[in-house]
Amino acid sequence: MSANAQQIHFEQLVSGYTDDLFRFALWLCRDREVAQDLVQETMLRAWRSIDKLRDEQAVKPWLLTTLRRENARRFERKQLDLVDADDLQISDEQQSGQDELVLSRQVREAMKTLPEKYREPIRMQVISDCSVKQIARKLGLTRSAVMTRLFRAREQLTQYLGGPTETAIR
């Protein structure tokens, strides 16, 4: 087959799929320019290996697979800059976020140490955002019993976390 005939054959096979390839590329990378580059690279690879295509009915899946693999190659080639951790400066905002994560982990650990009768009401109030009335109804307790358990749970959590207790403040 002559080069001109091969080009015409290739264009007939793939020309109807460029829009589909572009949409798929855009869905993969969420960037129009990168999607256009991916489609262009896909077409270039398809041109180079058109003679390996056995079933002309499978052109679209073949092109989509080629595009997906080309997108994966994009990440294989990417070299991330390495940074020495000692040179990093942590802002106060980042540090406070880290402090909140540590505190949150400590609170969860402290809640595990509570007896079940205190742990469940405090969990329902803090995590499930239930009111005292809802907690009382769900646990089959009086409203005052729930309030007492919540108070004692908070007191034990405060002691566990090393903060001042209610009685120490008075």
Q: What secondary structure letter does DSSP report for 162? A: T
Q: Taking the model in full, what pTM does it have? A: 0.45
| Spatial distance between the Cα atoms of 78 and 81, rounded to a whole number of angstroms | 10
> Are 147 and 133 a contacting pair, CB within 8 Å?
no
pLDDT confidence band for 7 (50 / 70 / 90): confident
Q: Residues 135-150: what's their mean pLDDT?
A: 92
Q: Residues 106-120: what's their mean pLDDT?
A: 85
What is the pLDDT at residue 33?
94
pLDDT at 37 over 60: yes
Q: What percent of the chain has pLDDT over 90?
A: 26
What is the pLDDT at residue 169?
38
| Spatial distance between the Cα atoms of 108 and 64, rounded to a whole number of angstroms | 47
CATH, range 113-170: 1.10.10.10
pLDDT confidence band for 168 (50 / 70 / 90): very low
Q: Residues 4-29: what's their mean pLDDT?
A: 85
- Mark 43-69 as b/e (b = at least 16 C-beta within 10 Å): bebbeeebeeeeeeeebeebbbebbee
Domain 3-77 = CATH 1.10.1740.10: yes
What is the residue extent of each domain of the chain? 3-77, 113-170
Structure tokens at 84: 């020495």
Q: What is the pLDDT of residues 46-101, one digit of tens each?
A: 888 877 777 777 888 889 999 999 988 888 776 666 666 666 665 555 555 555 66
